[in-house]
Structure 1
Amino acid sequence: MTSIFERALGAEFARLHPMMQRRFGVGLSSGEACIGTGEMAIIRRGPWWTVPFLQIGRLRNILIPDVGTQVPFRIENFPYRDPFGRETVTFVRGYDIHGRQRRFDATMILVGDRIVDYLGTHQHLAVDLDLTVDDEGGLVLTSDAQRFYEGPIAFRFPMLFSGRARLRERFDERDGRFHIDLEVHNDRFGFLFGYRGSFTCDWIPASDAPPRLKPRRHERRH
């Protein structure tokens, strides 16, 4: 059995840099978790009118309203099986910005050959991800359709009121670090949020995620 990312990428997975293969090989079959620690060189946001939008996201650990440079950063990728029997990998990011602790919570599952990224503490948003491997062995994740779930309410989230994310992650042999670059844009209003940084990783044995990293509610719909 392979990781959800290897299954989603198929033969393309072999084009990833070997360190990227290990990082995105985290899963129940690998029996290990990946913990990255480093620094965001910059965290930035769009114009002033984006702040209320980002503040709303902050309440459920979906977006970060703060900006900063040289921000300490941590990402924790643990595999676990959710209450519906789906293999899940946590992507929980923590930031220490001007003494304030911020989190960006995400959990990912595989549906067919597509990765679905649940965002937030209650998996309110389900986002389809397109995965590609670039010429440097890096992984590019681009967000696509988004769906909102809350109790009996379910609807496709209008992209006019949301953003499309493009994240590129790669490993640089010159400094032995993973490098990450994210930008979120709205189709009409332009740049909303982004960050750029680097980190190193440690792998530890794991067959479950700590409760503190799991969402407070798991959403069956995807």
Structure 2
Amino acid sequence: MTIYENLLGEDFKRLHPKLQERYALPKDKPFCAEGTMTSIQTGARLLTPLLKLAANWKFLFPESGKNIPFTIKNTCRSLPSGLDEVNWERTFYFDNVTRYFNAFMTIDSERKVVKDYLGEPSLFYSDLYFEVASDGNLIIRSGSQRFVIGKIEVPIPSFLQGVVEVEEGYDDLQEVFTIRVQIRNQIVGRMMAYEGEFKEQST
């Protein structure tokens, strides 16, 4: 049983069948896909220095655009601790630069959350809550967050947090996965938003 099946329990079976396949993630058998982000939007200009800095850690980035090609790769592996971890590698191919949005996820079975370390090396931590919508889509929302400075993790006050909402689905007519992501802050508004579609590629 993979980390997402373990987390969702019986609700995993309510996911669209293609999402069940996507999130099964057998160890050392990556899920790889290619697609297009129909829209990528970053936030206010005052965030640009922060986004440029975050890009050095393969985290957020300052570019916006439409119809941006991208790839995604998810790989599950066992850690020395015995926990299973899923590595997320998202790559966005802008005309003049390639950007990354990487993460490492494990689960906390007691708290029923995904522990999401973002960036490479990790710069930021967030609890993530997974739920299955009535239409079989997967909904992901953020919880408490921390800055990661080496081995030190500093809690982020709620007013500085980037509140995340993700919806992933599958379009049976087009035979593509769909994705919509919003990251907002209660003071500055949108920090990043993107939406698009992708198809699995054989490895």
Amino acid at match of 1:184: I
Q: CA deviation at 1:83?
A: 3.9
How many matched pairs?
Answer: 201
CA distances 1:158-213 after superposition (whole Å, capped 9, x unpaired): 23223111111000101000000001000222111110100001354xxxxxxxxx
2:117 paired residue number: 118
2:86 paired residue number: 89
Kept in 1: contact 2:57–2:122 (CA 8 A): no
For 1:22 and 1:203, how far apart are their aligned partners in 2?
Answer: 14
1:12 paired residue number: 11
1:147 paired residue number: 146
**Percent pairwise identity:** 29
Moved over 6 A (4+): none
1:58 paired residue number: 55
Q: Which structure 1 segments of 5+ residues have no match?
A: 205-222
1:175 paired residue number: 174
Q: CA deviation at 1:15?
A: 0.6
1:188 paired residue number: 187
Report the TM-score, using the length of structure 2 for normalisation: 0.93
2:76 paired residue number: 79
Q: CA deviation at 1:17?
A: 0.4
Change (3 A) 1:134 1:201: same
Change (3 A) 1:152 1:137: closer
Q: CA deviation at 1:26?
A: 0.7
For 1:162 and 1:97, how far apart are their aligned partners in 2?
Answer: 27
For 1:152 and 1:80, how far apart are their aligned partners in 2?
Answer: 22
For 1:137 and 1:201, how far apart are their aligned partners in 2?
Answer: 19
When structure 1 is superposed on structure 2, of 121-130 and 34-43 the one drifting more is 121-130
For 2:72 and 2:91, how far apart are their aligned partners in 1?
Answer: 6
Amino acid at match of 1:52: P
Q: CA deviation at 1:152?
A: 4.8
Kept in 2: contact 1:33–1:203 (CA 8 A): no
Q: CA deviation at 1:46?
A: 1.7
Amino acid at match of 2:58: N
Q: Secondary structure at the match of 1:169?
A: strand
Q: CA RMSD in A?
A: 1.5
Report the TM-score, using the length of structure 1 for normalisation: 0.86
Change (3 A) 1:55 1:46: same
Q: Which structure 2 segments of 5+ residues have no match?
A: none
Q: Check if 1:109 corresponds to 2:99.
A: no
Change (3 A) 1:18 1:135: same
Kept in 2: contact 1:79–1:88 (CA 8 A): yes
For 1:164 and 1:27, how far apart are their aligned partners in 2?
Answer: 30
For 2:153 and 2:82, how far apart are their aligned partners in 1?
Answer: 22
For 1:5 and 1:153, how far apart are their aligned partners in 2?
Answer: 27
2:130 paired residue number: 131
